[in-house]
Amino acid sequence: MSVSPQLQSKIQCYSIDIVVQICGFIACYSYNRLKMIKEMRWEFGSVLPPDIKYNLCEAEVGVRDGPSCPDLRVFEYRISAANS
Encode pLDDT of 24-81 as tens digits. Answer: 888 888 888 888 888 888 888 878 888 888 888 877 777 664 444 455 566 666 666 6
Instruction: Answer whether residue 18 shows pLDDT above 80.
Output: yes
Confidence of residue 83 (pLDDT cuts 50, 70, 90): low
pLDDT recorded at residue 34: 86
Q: Output the pTM of the full model.
A: 0.55
Residues 27, 2: contact at Cβ < 8 Å?
no
Cβ neighbours around 47 below 10 Å, total: 8
pLDDT recorded at residue 66: 45
Instruction: Answer whether residue 19 shows pLDDT above 80.
Output: yes
